[in-house]
Amino acid sequence: MSTTATVNGGEAPEVLVRFDQVFKSFRTSRGRRQTALDGFSMSIPKGAVVGLLGPNGSGKTTALKALLGLVRPDRGTITAFGRELPAEQRFVARRMGALIEGPAFTGSLTGEHNLRLLAELHGAGRDEVADVLDLVGLDRAARRSYSGYSLGMKQRLGVAAALISQPDLLVLDEPMNGLDPEAVRHMRELLKRLRDERGMTVVVSSHILAEVELVSDWVTIVRNGRVICDASVPELLGRGTSRLVVRVHDAATAQSVLAEHGYEAVAAVGTTGAELQVEPSPGRPTPSDGSDVLRLLTDRAVYPRELIVESASLEDIYVAAVRAADAATTGRETRHGD
Ligand SMILES: Nc1ncnc2c1ncn2[C@@H]1O[C@H](COP(=O)(O)OP(=O)(O)OP(=O)(O)O)[C@@H](O)[C@H]1O
């Protein structure tokens, strides 16, 4: 990922796209207003694979469409490649490739033929078509008709189409939807190769956390049209609290020793002895490496059979971010209701 020096001497990622307080609502068929983006702010770092994560209806597609000029925001600004949208949409469009809401190809034509028609529109030639087919792993299936492609192959051809103009930024809306595990893995490898071998910035939206965790350098979590978390994956994982699990024969003694020292140990009975999940009480540091807990127990002749430090997963962080956002919303609503 490319970086620029910050004033405090640290390295901050160079931002390729920035959404700043973007609002968008739609009028539904029943005449009601449906808010899709509600002060949406996010940055896309250059050279990263960015996972745009959020439940169905949270506003991911609308945000991506706004970037692509397919939806016009009511308010707020979007800048990409240093240019403001929508005024500079043409300049930006030349640098972006996208796959939104599924690819549209002609079933009776081969994958290659479909791409060649598209290449003509972009002024690209046979070499570019061969290159992108090779990149997405469809070189051998290029001469088969599109109607015989599996869903994974269709998605890959869609990505190939998005790549035909050799974009700097690739935008993929739910590219792994409906794919089997093998096809998902293929798509993940492809996204990483585009980043590593072509220096491309890739934005991939998904509501499946595990997919995003495995491929992304950067994660943006969206809820109700707002970004509730926007950070690099290492930073996010560093923010999470690790969990400590201790397996002991005598759970009751271990619990009372730990309680004396400000730890709460929640028991889950195992086959032999018990498993205790150790949490710090408020004001007590997290038992991050377990050495403190181990010392307290062995000093009192409680010898754990096993001690495991489990790092926080992206799922833990996601759940914590959603809870914090919901609590903040409830707080706001309560205050307004007073
Ligand atoms: N053209 C439209 N007309 C009316 N409402 C819309 C329109 N487009 C989006 N919405 C609404 O805006 C909200 C955000 O939708 P959006 O498709 O951006 O969410 P999403 O996070 O991409 O969801 P999904 O994961 O299901 O694709 C939803 O409530 C949706 O129903």
- Closest ligand 1 atom, residue 27 Cα: 4
Distance between start and end Cα atoms, the chain: 47
State the distance from the centre of ligand 1 to the C-alpha of 57, rounded, in angstroms.
Answer: 5
Cα–chain center distance at 289: 28
pLDDT in tens, 226-237: 999 888 888 877
Instruction: Note whether 190 and 159 are within 8 A (CB).
Output: yes
State the distance from the centre of ligand 1 to the C-alpha of 18, rounded, in angstroms.
Answer: 21
Task: Indicate if the alpha-carbon torsion angle 174, 51, 86, 129 is positive or negative.
Answer: negative
Say what the pLDDT of residue 192 is: 92
State the distance from the centre of ligand 1 to the C-alpha of 227, rounded, in angstroms.
Answer: 15
Say what the pLDDT of residue 2 is: 47
**Model pTM score:** 0.79
Cα separation of 274 and 254, whole Å? 10
Give the domain ranges of the chain: 3-238, 241-310
Say what the pLDDT of residue 240 is: 64
Give the list of residues 6+ apart from residue 225 with CB closer than 8 angstroms, or none: 24, 35, 36, 37, 38, 39, 40, 58, 59, 62
Cα separation of 113 and 62, whole Å? 31
Instruction: Note whether 147 and 91 are within 8 A (CB).
Output: no
State the distance from the centre of ligand 1 to the C-alpha of 99, rounded, in angstroms.
Answer: 16
Probe residue for ligand 1, chosen from 24, 42, 61 as the CB with the greatest number of ligand atoms within 8 Å: 61
- Give the residue, by CA position, lying nearest to ligand 1 atom 3: 26
The CB of 220 under 6 Å from ligand 1? The reply is no
The CB of 272 under 6 Å from ligand 1? The reply is no
CATH of domain 241-310: 3.30.2130.10
Complex ipTM value:
0.96
How confident is the chain (338 residues) per 10-residue block, as mean pLDDT? Answer: 42 86 93 94 95 91 95 96 92 92 86 92 86 90 92 90 93 87 87 92 88 87 92 78 82 90 77 73 62 90 88 77 77 57
The CB of 288 under 6 Å from ligand 1? The reply is no
- Residue 107 has which token pair? 């079933």
Say what the pLDDT of residue 10 is: 47
* Fold matches, 3-238 and 241-310: no
Architecture per CATH, domain 3-238, reads as: 3-Layer(aba) Sandwich (3.40)
State the distance from the centre of ligand 1 to the C-alpha of 36, rounded, in angstroms.
Answer: 6
- Give the residue, by CA position, lying nearest to ligand 1 atom 11: 36
Cα separation of 98 and 70, whole Å? 11
> HSE of 216 in the Cβ direction (CA atoms, 13 Å)?
30
